[in-house]
């Protein structure tokens, strides 16, 4: 009996870990390899190499010329298709969190080369999933001014989503994200696939430093199975990961009463001065 309980506990742990890793902090890449006549090419070797880390994965096309990479870490990739008697086809693609990019390759006869650039916006209608989502890129996080350096404010960029006002004394500085009429209490959030929810009053349990975020995604509707525990929007945060290059950043947030206007009912400006500064250094 104890052995059975131990086995069930171990299985539950494995399932929870697998579910955490399966929550979409990664991307998928798929496509069909054909020859110049349009005939599919089976048994072609596809190699996807992360440009930033040089980590690579390989796959082989099936009888229908189809290949797919699941759970690729987001980032820039160089994808190569190789088969004897054909020239190598090279593809460059940028994957963002939660993406499933369809990138087809054409293998030409030996002696010719092909390079294709594919962006995450290449497919306007994603037929691989029904969920409604939109990512916020690291460039937007780094370059757009945020009044209180709360990355959730960038939800204003996503149609149908918005930052939530405070709904609990413990959420005075970070209320969460709302969409579709749902409250922030019913929203869910994960950081690198791990649970980041406040199990008492709902919403996020804290803030993630803005300089540590690579990008984040807000799923507003038609959720996949891994988001089944929340009825509101799901916020998927991916932090920066190590690369082969050293990077750093610095910031200064300065607010002072002389730089802001009076409120409509204010005769005088209240005293206010805020100076917030910091930086980050790492291999991300």
Residue 142 DSSP symbol: H
- From first to last of its 284 residues, the chain has per-residue pLDDT tens of 555 555 544 444 444 444 444 455 678 899 999 999 999 999 999 999 999 888 999 999 999 999 999 988 888 899 999 998 899 999 899 888 877 888 899 998 876 555 555 554 444 555 656 567 777 877 888 888 887 788 888 888 888 888 887 777 777 667 778 888 887 788 888 888 888 888 888 778 888 888 888 888 888 876 677 666 677 888 888 888 777 778 788 888 888 888 888 878 888 888 888 888 888 887 75
Return the closest-CA partner of residue 95 out of 83, 114, 115, 79: 79
| Distance of alpha carbon 220 from alpha carbon 230, whole angstroms | 11
Q: Mind listing the domains of the chain with CATH numbers?
A: 25-118 (2.60.40.1120), 130-284 (2.170.130.10)
Residues 6+ apart with CB under 8 A from 278: 211, 250, 251
Cβ-based neighbour number of residue 284 at 10 Å: 19
| Stated pTM of the model | 0.63
Tell me the two tokens of residue 36: 């110049």
Between vectors from CA 96 to CA 95 and to CA 97, what angle results, nearest 5°? Answer: 125
Return the closest-CA partner of residue 219 out of 171, 269, 255, 179: 179
The alpha helices in the chain, defined as continuous H runs, are 2-22, 138-143
pLDDT at residue 114, rounded to an integer: 54
Residue with tokens 């005088």: 268
Helices (H) and strands (E) in the chain, counts: 2, 18
């Amino acid at each position: 009996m104890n052995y059975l309980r131990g086995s069930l506990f171990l299985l539950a742990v494995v399932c929870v870990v697998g579910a955490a890793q399966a929550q979409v902090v990664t991307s998928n890449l798929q496509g069909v390899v054909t020859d110049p006549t349009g005939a599919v090419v089976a048994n072609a070797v596809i190699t996807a190499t992360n440009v930033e880390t040089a980590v690579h994965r390989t796959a082989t096309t099936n009888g229908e010329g189809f290949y797919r990479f699941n759970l690729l870490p987001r980032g820039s990739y160089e994808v190569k298709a190789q088969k004897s008697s054909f020239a190598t086809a090279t593809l460059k693609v940028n994957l963002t969190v939660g993406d499933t990019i369809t990138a087809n390759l054409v293998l030409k006869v030996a002696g010719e080369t092909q390079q294709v650039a594919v962006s995450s916006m290449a497919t306007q209608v994603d037929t691989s999933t029904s969920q409604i989502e939109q990512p916020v890129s690291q460039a937007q996080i780094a370059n757009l001014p945020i009044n209180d350096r709360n990355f959730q404010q960038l939800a204003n960029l996503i149609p149908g989503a918005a930052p939530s006002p405070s709904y609990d004394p413990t959420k005075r500085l970070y209320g969460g994200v709302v969409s579709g009429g749902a409250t922030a209490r019913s929203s869910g959030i994960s950081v690198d696939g791990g649970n980041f929810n406040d199990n008492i009053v709902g919403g996020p349990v804290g803030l993630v430093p803005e300089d540590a975020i690579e990008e984040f995604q807000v799923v507003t509707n038609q959720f996949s199975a891994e988001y089944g525990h929340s009825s509101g929007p799901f916020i998927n945060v991916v932090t920066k990961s190590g690369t082969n290059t050293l990077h750093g950043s610095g910031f200064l947030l300065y607010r002072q009463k002389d730089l802001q206007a009076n409120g409509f009912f204010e005769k005088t400006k209240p005293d206010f001065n805020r100076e917030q500064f910091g930086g980050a250094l790492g291999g991300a």
